[in-house]
Amino acid sequence: MAVAVDELAKGPGSQWKHTNRIYKILEYNYIVFPLTFILTFYAFKHVARVGEYYIDVEEDGWTSSSIFHVITMTIFFLLQMPPFGQILGLCLPMRPNKFAQKPRTRRLGTLRVCLVTKGTNVSTAVNSARCWDSLSQRDNPSVKFHVLVDSESSEELKQQLPSYVIVDQVPKSFSVKKAKYKARAQEYFRLKYKFSKEDWVLHLDEESEMDDRALQTTLDFIERGTADLGMGTIYYTASNHWTSLLLSAAEVNRVAEDFGRFQLPLLLFRRPFLGWTHGSWLLINGAVENAIGWDTDNAARLGYKFEWLHGIFREQPPCTFKDLCKQRRRWFTGIFRFEQPIAGLALTLGVFAGIGTLI
């Protein structure tokens, strides 16, 4: 079932070719990025000297002002969650093709690719589903493609989607104790299909665009890996990319965080930092999803193991500044509702660390 990554390079799609080039570089990330950081440091140092943009140090060495600046900068850097996470995540060996190089140790029953949508933005959901048309594993009998609609009507979607896509509609009468919106829809999906330990679910947002490498990496993870859950890198370049400089620039840091805040803890401890995960490009074993469920308030405490999926999904950045603020507000309110205050405290300290570093 698994295909060598190099063979997939012959497949269609400019997005896959771009992804392939990225991961050819990331095979040697432990060389490329340390050298890049060192050269960048000395380049800025040279520019400062040539432009005479520097301050003479007093002969008596340390002053109260210099000590204050060193202490405050150290505090701000240590408040980052985790400290120096992005640099460490980029510099430690990633081994992006490690799953493809391992022998098969697990059997795949069914992989259900589940795209969740409210049904109000039909064109976006259809565009994302159409990316599945050119996948080399699209006709794999073990892979099923679903669009999960959390609204009363799904007829318009059904008419525009290809026949191999299964449309599941969440009944209005379906109720749970805690889960809302997307989580409620995913809980319905879980109960409907009664997953086994050989089943897996790949959860996607309605704007998530998949390429061949992402799906092949998923299959290799399932058959050749040992972890129970996986998540991967998301680029925000699917559409509206650089239409607004401010909004696109705001998403660049999220890509950097994928290699730091999200990937680094999985690389070192096989667990997410404070339980933080993506809501999309999230792969979960069926038995694990049954044990956790979506009608829960603390999945992290069960201690299941994660690994990073070295593939790229592409999504779109918020269309307006108002949408950006609403998105961040949802994140913050969700984190601060967590029953243990450590998650909210870490978020607050991380925000102050970012502001302090800029100052």
Q: How far apart are CA 19 and CA 32, in angstroms?
A: 17
3-state helix vs strand vs coil in the chain, percent to 5: 50, 15, 40
Residue 125 region, left (φ>0) first, then alpha (ψ -120 to 50), else beta? Answer: alpha
- DSSP class of residue 152 equals S
- Measured distance CA(21)–CA(73) in Å, rounded: 36
Alpha-helical (H) ranges within the chain are 5-8, 14-26, 29-50, 64-78, 85-91, 122-130, 155-160, 181-193, 212-224, 245-257, 263-269, 286-292, 321-336, 342-358
Q: Residue 247 burial by CB count (10 A; 0-12/13-18/19+): exposed, middle or buried?
A: buried
Please give the Cα distance from 50 to 88 (Å, whole number).
Answer: 31
- Say if residue 128 is exposed, middle or buried (CB neighbours under 10 Å; 0-12, 13-18, 19+): buried
Buried b (16+ CB within 10 A) or exposed e, 275-306: ebbbbbbbbbbbebbbebbbbbeebbeeebeb
pLDDT of residue 5: 41
User: What's 132's DSSP letter?
Assistant: G
What fold, for 111-319? Spore Coat Polysaccharide Biosynthesis Protein SpsA; Chain A (3.90.550)
Q: Locate the domains of the chain by residue range.
A: 29-52+61-91, 111-319
Question: How many CB atoms are closer than 10 A to CB 53?
Answer: 9
DSSP state of 107: -
First-residue to last-residue Cα distance in the chain: 52
Strand order in the sheet with 111-117: 165-169, 143-149, 111-117, 200-204, 282-285, 229-235, 306-314
The dihedrals phi and psi of 243, each to the nearest 5 degrees, come to -60, -40
Residue by residue, pLDDT tens for the chain (359 residues) are: 334 444 334 444 566 678 888 888 999 999 999 999 999 999 988 887 877 666 665 566 677 777 887 787 777 777 666 777 888 888 999 999 999 999 999 999 999 999 999 988 898 999 999 999 999 999 999 999 999 999 877 788 888 999 999 999 999 889 888 788 888 999 999 999 999 999 999 999 999 999 999 999 999 999 999 999 999 999 988 777 777 788 888 888 788 888 877 888 888 888 887 767 888 999 999 999 999 887 665 666 677 899 999 999 998 888 888 888 888 787 777 777 776 676 667 767 666 666 655 55
In whole angstroms, what is the distance from residue 37 CA to residue 76 CA?
Answer: 20
Q: How far apart are CA 129 and CA 209, in angstroms?
A: 8
